[in-house]
Amino acid sequence: MNQSWILPPHIRDEMLQDGQDRYPEEACGLLFGSLDGRIGTIERYLPVANHSKIPLHAFELDPAIWVRSCFDPRLIGVYHTHPTSPPQPSSEDLRQLPNFADRLQLYLIGGRMNPSNDKPPGEPDGFMLHAYGISAYSGGYRLLPIKLREN
Instruction: Give backbone dihedrals phi and psi of 67, rounded to 5 degrees, phi first.
Output: -60, -45
User: Which residues, including other chains, have CB under 8 Å from residue 47's CB and lie 6 or more apart?
Assistant: 14, 18, 27, 28, 29
Q: Read off the pTM.
A: 0.90
Confidence of residue 124 (pLDDT cuts 50, 70, 90): low
Q: What's the number of CA atoms in the CB half-sphere (13 Å) around residue 88?
A: 5
Please write the tens of the pLDDT for every residue from 17-37: 999 999 999 999 999 999 898
Rg of the chain in Å (alpha carbons): 14
* Widest distance between CA atoms in the chain: 40
Cα separation, 136 vs 32, in Å, equals: 21
Cα separation, 22 vs 112, in Å, equals: 14
User: Which residues, including other chains, have CB under 8 Å from residue 108's CB and lie 6 or more apart?
Assistant: 15, 31, 77, 78, 79, 80, 129, 130, 131, 132, 148
Pairing relationship of beta strands 28-36 and 39-48 according to DSSP bridges: antiparallel
Cα separation, 4 vs 83, in Å, equals: 26
| DSSP string computed for 29-42 | EEEEEEEETTEEEE
Please write the tens of the pLDDT for every residue from 75-122: 999 999 999 888 999 999 999 999 888 899 999 999 875 545 555 554
